[in-house]
Amino acid sequence: MSAQIFADLVGDMDDELAHLVKEELLTGWSAQKALTAIEAQKAKQLSDQIEHCAVEGLGQHVMDVPAEAYFAWKQKLGQDCWSDRSFRDWFKKKNPEVAVNYTPRKTTVLI
């Protein structure tokens, strides 16, 4: 089935262009996945340099998700996947580089 679809797709192309299209279909997704992982690692390094704490009324910052990953999962699982706490926990467990180190602030009482 997929061979027929590919043949229909590249039927009008010369052999070199058909080969380039095949390579992009095979490696393009992998390359984008690798670039997203590198971006997440860089974001983690930058995030580790910042002290994160809860903001009253907003909650705490728990993870930085790359845009490509956010929209890919949203398209794959549906609109509400990021609203599901179990999905977010699973995603953070599988991708530890998106987790943000949380530093609780000490409570101070002014007199």
Q: Please report, as a single letter, which amino acid is at residue 56.
A: E
Determine, yes or no, domain membership for 110: no
pLDDT tens digits, 24-33: 777 766 677 7
DSSP codes joined into one string, 9-62:
HHTTS-HHHHHHHHHHHHHHHHHHHHHHHHHHHHHHHHHHTS-B--BTTTB---
Quick one: pLDDT band at residue 67, thresholds 50, 70, 90? confident
**Residue 103 is assigned to a structural domain of this protein:** no
Give the model's pLDDT for residue 66: 83
Whether 28 maps to a domain, the answer reads yes
How buried is residue 92: exposed, middle or buried, by Cβ count under 10 Å (0-12/13-18/19+)? middle
Is the per-residue pLDDT at 47 higher than 70? no
**Under 8 Å between Cβ of 101 and 63:** no
- Rounded average pLDDT over 5-29: 70
Q: Is residue 105 part of a domain?
A: no
So what's the pLDDT on residue 10?
A: 64
Domain membership of residue 109 (yes or no) is no
Could you tell me the residue range of the domain that residue 11 belongs to? 2-98
Q: Per the domain annotation, does 106 fall within a domain?
A: no
Query: Into how many domains does the chain fold?
Result: 1
Q: Is residue 107 very low, low, confident or very high in pLDDT (cuts 50, 70, 90)?
A: low
Write down the mean pLDDT value for the chain. Answer: 75
111 belongs to a structural domain: no
Inside any domain, residue 34: yes
Contact 39, 47 (CB under 8 A): no
